[in-house]
Amino acid sequence: MQSRTFDLNTQAYKRNPYPTLARMVAQGPVVRVRFPWIGKLWMATSYEAASELLRDRERFVREPRSAGMPQRANLPWWFPRSMQPMAEVMINRDEPDHRRLRGLVEQAFLRRGVEQLRPRFDAIMRQLLDELEAKFRRDGHPIDLVAGLARPFPLAVICELLGLPSEDRPMFVKLAGAFSGSPSLFVLFRILGAIKSINAYIREQIRLCRANPRQGLISELIAAKQEDDRLTEDEMVAMVILLLLAGHMTTVHLIGAGIYTLLTHPAQKQSLLTDWSLVYSTVDELLRYLSPVQMTKPMMPAHDLEWYGQRLKRGDKIVALLAAANVDPQKFEDPDRFDIHRSPNPHMAFGAGIHVCLGLRLARAEAEIALEQLLTRFPKLELAIPPSQVKWSRQPGTRGMEALPVRLL
Ligand code: HEM
């Protein structure tokens, strides 16, 4: 089957992805697409196919060895073998290993529920807004809400959740910067360097927590136990790094692009300002409309198979294109319309099946806190540049803003 080239990483796509997604969907529910750096990939583009791909554990697997292939194939070519434990995190595993790892982290994750931590998250947001407001009043210049709010807030939240010292946050902001930018050899080396530094730092933090347990998920993970089973040191380091990476940029994009979307849909923003009970459905609609994580990690057929009219070979890579599933006209009425009243809204922004997002409650709570505090404090908030000049993030596979200059009114 001939593959088509769709570039999902241009500014034009990120600004308005809906025509491209409609063209992809028009090719059929399963399409072969060529990507820079990655090569050819199958994509499940309809809601039904994406959902089946993520839920059918008999036919689709994540680990090469579950499809009878050598395990090493799971590692990208540029990944040093010394970092193998990182490749074996639960998001890359099938059952029963996935269940074991997720069970241990869920136990630790759920012990202090998100609701219990909410007042602390509220306080973090209030302090960020105090600082931004003071700066705006002092200088009168537009404020970049990505650098000033969307990035530091989820980072502070995840560090707080893990129990990492707050004085280490500036270092994380610097390391997190390594993950931005379009793919290039330079960016790959930068990412590897950042992962190495995070790896060493987390190992040291685990050592400190073992000696002196403190509040937070790292100490909970050390204590977590199921039928005499515990996480090994390597598994724990990899799990904490997964939580840091999965829990940070995703939420940055939801908050940054979420604010932009409300500012560019003033009637919807007004509805929310007059009825804050709509905040839950607003966040859901932002998740559907934006798909901050545009596609899942690849699955692969466990055997050669014929699926939605395509012949897939055992071990072929196939991703669920969540961005397309979330605007599938078979599932959502008038899907390109942003509507905070949409109900029901069974979007797939958090994935589906066994790998459904572990942090979905946390991500929702963060977005609710950010929108509520920002818009009640600055109800006349406005963009400082025309929407056509706003820069979207070049991070592949995601949709979010690089910067969002606003006036805090
Ligand atoms: C707007 C914010 C977020 C979005 C859109 C999002 C989206 C997703 C998606 C689509 C997946 C499935 C990926 C796949 O199947 O390949 C996933 C998995 C995951 N997410 Fe999130 N996520 C968000 C925030 C978070 C946060 C805040 C955390 C943690 C603190 C988190 C932790 C995880 C983990 C650990 C997994 C892997 C679960 C598993 O393999 O069982 N995510 N997320």
Residue 74 pLDDT grade (very low, low, confident, very high; cuts 50, 70, 90): low
pLDDT number for residue 183? 65
Compute, in angstroms, the gap from residue 131 CA to the centroid of ligand 1: 30
Whole-number percent of the chain with pLDDT over 70: 94
Query: What is the distance between the alpha carbons of residues 393 and 83, in angstroms, rounded to a whole number?
Result: 27
Residue 323's identity, in one-letter code, is A
d(CA 369, ligand 1 centre) in Å: 19
The type of residue at 102 is R
User: Which pLDDT tens digit goes with each residue over 361-384?
Assistant: 999 999 999 999 999 999 999 999
Per residue in 247-288, pLDDT tens? 888 999 999 999 999 999 999 999 999 999 999 999 999 999
Q: Ligand 1: which of 41, 101, 250 to mutate, most ligand atoms within 8 Å of CB? A: 250
Is the pLDDT reported for residue 72 higher than 60? Answer: no
pLDDT at 380: 96
Helices (H) then strands (E): counts for the chain:
16, 11
Give yes or no for residue 51 having a pLDDT over 60.
Answer: yes
Of 64, 53, 11, the residue nearest 29 (C-alpha): 53
Mean pLDDT of 186-199: 82
| pLDDT score at 29 | 96
SS3 334: coil
Rounded to whole angstroms, how far apart are CA atoms 301 and 313?
Answer: 7
Tell me the pLDDT tens digit for each residue of 232-243: 999 999 999 899
First-last CA distance in the chain = 54
User: What is the mean pLDDT of the segment spanning 87-95?
Assistant: 92
Q: Which domains does the chain have, with CATH numbers?
A: 4-407 (1.10.630.10)
CA of 241 to the centre of ligand 1 (A): 13
Q: Does position 111 have pLDDT exceeding 90, yes or no?
A: no
Residue 306 has pLDDT above 70, yes or no: yes
Query: Which among 253, 199, 208 is positioned nearest to 402, based on CA atoms?
Result: 253
CA distance 314 to 209: 44
49-58, 162-171, 253-262: segment of lowest average pLDDT = 162-171
Q: Is the CB–ligand 1 distance for residue 218 below 6 Å?
A: no
- Closest ligand 1 atom, CA of 161? 30
Residue 269 pLDDT: 98
pLDDT score recorded for residue 345 = 98
- Tokens 């007004």, residue? 270
| 385 CA to centre of own chain | 27
**Does the C-beta of 357 come closer than 6 Å to ligand 1?**
yes
Instruction: Report DSSP state, residue 143.
Output: E
How remote is the C-alpha of 405 from its chain's centroid? 23
For the chain, percent of residues with pLDDT exceeding 90: 70
Residues 6+ apart with CB under 8 A from 165: none
Q: Quick one: pLDDT band at residue 331, thresholds 50, 70, 90?
A: very high
Using pLDDT thresholds of 50, 70 and 90, give the confidence band for residue 77. Answer: low
Q: Which of 35, 26, 44, 20 is nearest to 352 (CA)?
A: 44
Give the pLDDT confidence score for residue 1 in this predicted structure: 54
pLDDT band of residue 71 (cuts 50, 70, 90) is low
pLDDT at 176: 73
Residue 78 reports pLDDT greater than 70? no
